[in-house]
């Protein structure tokens, strides 16, 4: 369990991805954790992945709209076979909050707020349960990252 990030207490689980998501490559992160009845400090320096998503082959991607600014679709059967996607949704387009947070077309969205999403309806329901923010698990290439997403606040996520 993570107790604090860089000395700042994590009181609510949603604070962790939001705090880490605002860190920049090169930043040093100290995580105060509780594991098997003992407190530990994990230290890490963030690196730039250098991974860039590729555009989808669809010539007419759906409009990116909604609260998050994500255009999602279920994966095609062929994509599931070729890439091994068991869960998650391909990102076809981004705008607004998702774009500001760094989500890109070609990313995959396996989970929202720690819950697996396998359909657009599940993703919509997960977002509807939250008032102003969610934590997206985004898969880009072989890398998985948590991205905090807030809407209705243009100053909350750097442009």
Mean pLDDT, all residues of the chain: 77
pLDDT at 138: 92
Least confident range of 28-32, 76-80, 81-85: 81-85
Identify the residue whose tokens are 């898969």: 139
159 pLDDT above the threshold of 60: no
Band of pLDDT at residue 1, cut at 50, 70 and 90: confident
pLDDT at 137: 92
DSSP-derived pairing of the beta strands 28-35 and 8-9: unpaired
User: Could you tell me if 108 and 118 are in contact, meaning their C-beta atoms sit under 8 angstroms apart?
Assistant: no
Domain boundaries, the chain: 2-45, 70-150
CA distance 120 to 158: 27
> For the segment 7-16, what is each residue's pLDDT rounded down to a tens digit?
888 887 677 7
CA distance 83 to 80: 6
> For the segment 29-67, what is each residue's pLDDT rounded down to a tens digit?
898 988 888 999 988 887 755 544 333 333 333 333 467
For residue 107, what are the contacts with CB-CB under 8 A and spacing of at least 6?
53, 90, 91, 138, 139, 140
> For the segment 118-138, what is each residue's pLDDT rounded down to a tens digit?
888 888 888 888 877 889 999
CATH topology of domain 70-150: Pdz3 Domain (2.30.42)
């Amino acid at each position: 369990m993570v107790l604090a990030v860089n000395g700042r207490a994590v009181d609510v689980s949603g604070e962790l991805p939001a705090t880490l998501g605002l860190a920049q490559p090169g930043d040093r992160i100290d995580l105060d954790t509780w594991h098997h009845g003992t407190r530990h400090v994990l230290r890490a320096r963030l690196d730039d992945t250098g991974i860039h998503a590729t555009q989808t082959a669809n010539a007419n991607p759906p409009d990116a709209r909604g609260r998050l600014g994500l255009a999602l679709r279920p994966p095609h059967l062929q994509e599931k076979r070729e890439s091994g996607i068991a869960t998650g949704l391909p990102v076809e387009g981004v705008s607004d909050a998702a774009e500001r947070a760094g989500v890109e077309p070609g990313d995959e969205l396996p989970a929202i707020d720690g819950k697996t999403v396998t359909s657009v309806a599940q993703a919509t329901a997960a977002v509807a349960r939250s008032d102003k923010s969610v934590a997206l698990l985004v898969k880009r290439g072989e890398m998985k990252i948590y991205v905090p997403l807030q809407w209705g606040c243009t100053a909350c996520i750097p442009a």
